Chains A and B, each alone.
Chain A
Amino acid sequence: MPSIPTSRGRSGVPEMGEDILRIDGLSTRFFTAEGQVNAVSDLDLTVESGEVFGIVGESGSGKSVTAESIMDLIESPGEITDGSVEYRNSEFADAISENHPGAVDDDFVDLRQIPKDARRSLRGSEFTMIFQDPESSFNPSLTVGEQLAEAVEVQRRATANPRSTKARTRSVEYSFGSLIASTVLDSQKFIKPASKARAVELLEQVGIPDPAKRADEYPHEYSGGMLQRAMIAQALAGEPDILIADEPTTALDVTIQAQILNLLKDLQEEIGMTILLITHNLGVIARMCDRVGVMYAGEIVERGTLEDVFDSPTHPYTQGLLGSVPDLENVGGTLQPIEGSVPSLLDHEMESRCYFADRCPKAMEECLEKPPEFAGPGSPDHRALCYLADHEYDPEQALPPGYFEDEEVAPDE
Chain B
Amino acid sequence: MSDSGGHRTSDAPLVEVRGLQKYFYEQDSLVDALLRTDPVAVKAVDGVSFDISAGETLGLVGESGCGKSTCGETLLRLQEPTGGTVHFDGENVFEMQNSDLKSFRRNAQFIFQDPFSSLDPRIPIGRSVREPLETHDWPWTEPDVETEATVRTDGVPRDRVAVSVAADIDKVVTPENGVATATVTVRQLASAADSGEEERGRDTSDTIEATVEEDLTIGVQTDGDRIDVDVSVGRSNKQLRKERAAMLLERVGLSADQRDRYPHEFSGGQRQRVGIARALALNPDFLVLDEPTSALDVSVQAQILNLLSELQAEFDLTYLLISHDLSVIRHISDRVAVMYLGEIVEIAPSEKLFRNPAHPYTQALLESVPRVSTAEQDRNIETLSGDVPSPRNPPSGCRFRTRCPKVIPPPALDIEQPAYRTVMDIRERIENRSLDLDGIREQLANEGKSTGTDELVRELEERLIDTDLDRREAENVETAFRAIANDEWDRAAELLRAEYESICETVSPELQDANDHQAACHLLDDRSVAEHRDRDGTVDSRE
Are the CB atoms of B369 and A253 closer together than 8 Å? no
Are the CB atoms of B371 and A286 closer together than 8 Å? yes
Are the CB atoms of A255 and B368 closer together than 8 Å? yes
Q: Taking A213-B436, A259-B383, A335-B305 as contacts, is the C-beta distance between A254 and B368 under 8 angstroms?
A: yes
B96 on interface, CB distance cutoff 8 Å: no
> Main SS of the interface on chain B?
helix
Are the CB atoms of B368 and A331 closer together than 8 Å? no
CA distance A131 to B350 in the complex (A): 35
Chain A residues with Cβ under 8 A from B369's Cβ?
254, 283, 328
Chain A residues with Cβ under 8 A from B354's Cβ?
328, 331
Shortest C-beta distance, B124 to chain A (Å), equals: 15
CA distance A253 to B267 in the complex (A): 26
CA distance A287 to B369 in the complex (A): 10
> Could you say which of A257, A322, A334 contacts B306, with CB atoms under 8 Å apart?
A334
B301 on interface, CB distance cutoff 8 Å: yes
B63 on interface, CB distance cutoff 8 Å: yes
CA distance A192 to B368 in the complex (A): 40
Give a binary string over A245-288; 1 marks a CB under 8 Å from any B CB, 0 the rest. Answer: 00000000111111101100000000000000000111110111
B381 on interface, CB distance cutoff 8 Å: yes
Pick from A6-14, A74-82, A159-167, A338-346 the stretch touching chain B. Answer: A338-346
Chain B residues with Cβ under 8 A from A280's Cβ?
297-298
Are the CB atoms of A282 and B298 closer together than 8 Å? yes
Chain B residues with Cβ under 8 A from A59's Cβ?
297
Q: Taking A328-B354, A334-B306, A341-B269 as contacts, is the C-beta distance between A254 and B365 under 8 angstroms?
A: yes
Chain A residues with Cβ under 8 A from B387's Cβ?
223, 225-226, 256
A311 on interface, CB distance cutoff 8 Å: yes
A103 on interface, CB distance cutoff 8 Å: no
Are the CB atoms of A283 and B368 closer together than 8 Å? no
Pick from B279-287, B323-331, B534-542 the stretch touching chain A. Answer: B323-331
What's the interface size class on B, roughly?
A: 35 or more
A16 on interface, CB distance cutoff 8 Å: no
> Could you say which of B327, B367, B374, B383 contacts A327, with CB atoms under 8 Å apart?
B327
Nearest CB in chain B to that of A207: its residue: B385
Which of B364, B373, B374 has the most chain A CB atoms closer than 10 A to its own CB? B373
Shortest C-beta distance, A39 to chain B (Å), equals: 17
Q: Taking A223-B387, A225-B387 as contacts, is the C-beta distance between A324 and B381 under 8 angstroms?
A: no
> Could you say which of A58, A258, A283, A326 contacts B299, with CB atoms under 8 Å apart?
A58
Q: Taking A337-B299, A339-B303 as contacts, is the C-beta distance between A254 and B324 under 8 angstroms?
A: yes
Q: Taking A331-B351, A337-B299 as contacts, is the C-beta distance between A283 and B376 under 8 angstroms?
A: yes
Residues of B323-378 at the interface with A, using a CB-CB cut-off of 8 Å, are 324, 326-328, 330-332, 350-351, 354, 364-374, 376-377
> Could you say which of B350, B373, B384, B439 contacts A331, with CB atoms under 8 Å apart?
B350
A118 on interface, CB distance cutoff 8 Å: no
Chain B residues with Cβ under 8 A from A323's Cβ?
302
Shortest C-beta distance, B515 to chain A (Å), equals: 19
CA distance A178 to B331 in the complex (A): 58
Are the CB atoms of A286 and B365 closer together than 8 Å? no
Q: Taking A326-B328, A326-B330, A331-B350 as contacts, is the C-beta distance between A306 and B372 under 8 angstroms?
A: no
B300 on interface, CB distance cutoff 8 Å: yes
Give a binary string over B43-58; 1 marks a CB under 8 Å from any A CB, 0 the rest. Answer: 0000000000000000
Q: Taking A58-B297, A254-B368, A287-B377 as contacts, is the C-beta distance between A341 and B331 under 8 angstroms?
A: no
Are the CB atoms of A342 and B297 closer together than 8 Å? yes
Are the CB atoms of B300 and A255 closer together than 8 Å? no
CA distance A79 to B104 in the complex (A): 55
Residues of B299-315 at the interface with A, using a CB-CB cut-off of 8 Å, are 299-303, 305-306, 309
Q: Taking A212-B443, A286-B374 as contacts, is the C-beta distance between A253 and B299 under 8 angstroms?
A: no
Shortest C-beta distance, A292 to chain B (Å), equals: 10
Are the CB atoms of B306 and A255 closer together than 8 Å? no
Shortest C-beta distance, A77 to chain B (Å), equals: 20
Are the CB atoms of A255 and B331 closer together than 8 Å? no
Q: Taking A256-B387, A334-B309, A335-B331 as contacts, is the C-beta distance between A341 and B300 under 8 angstroms?
A: yes
CA distance A321 to B328 in the complex (A): 15
B270 on interface, CB distance cutoff 8 Å: yes
Which of B298, B366, B367, B436 has the most chain A CB atoms closer than 10 A to its own CB? B298
Q: Taking A225-B387, A254-B324, A326-B327 as contacts, is the C-beta distance between A284 and B370 under 8 angstroms?
A: yes
B463 on interface, CB distance cutoff 8 Å: yes
Chain B residues with Cβ under 8 A from A327's Cβ?
327, 330-331
Are the CB atoms of A324 and B301 closer together than 8 Å? yes
B40 on interface, CB distance cutoff 8 Å: no
B528 on interface, CB distance cutoff 8 Å: no
Nearest CB in chain B to that of A330: its residue: B330
A210 on interface, CB distance cutoff 8 Å: yes
Chain B residues with Cβ under 8 A from A306's Cβ?
374, 377
Are the CB atoms of B372 and A286 closer together than 8 Å? yes
Are the CB atoms of A341 and B298 closer together than 8 Å? no
Nearest CB in chain B to that of A254: its residue: B368
CA distance A210 to B303 in the complex (A): 46
A281-B370, A283-B376 are known contacts; what are 9 more A-B pairs with Cβ within 8 Å? A213-B439, A310-B374, A326-B328, A334-B306, A334-B309, A335-B306, A337-B302, A338-B299, A341-B269
- Seen from chain B, the residues whose Cβ lies within 8 Å of a Cβ on chain A are 63-64, 267, 269-270, 297-303, 305-306, 309, 324, 326-328, 330-332, 350-351, 354, 364-374, 376-377, 381, 383-384, 387-388, 436, 439-440, 443, 446, 463
- Seen from chain A, the residues whose Cβ lies within 8 Å of a Cβ on chain B are 58-59, 193, 210, 212-213, 216, 223, 225-226, 253-259, 261-262, 280-284, 286-288, 306-307, 310-311, 320-329, 331-339, 341-342
26 cross-chain CB contacts under 8 A: A58-B297, A58-B298, A59-B297, A212-B440, A253-B64, A254-B369, A258-B381, A258-B383, A258-B384, A259-B384, A262-B383, A281-B370, A283-B372, A320-B299, A324-B299, A325-B298, A326-B331, A327-B327, A328-B366, A331-B330, A333-B331, A336-B302, A338-B302, A341-B269, A341-B270, A342-B297
Q: Which 3 A-B pairs have the closest CB atoms?
A: A283-B370, A337-B302, A326-B331
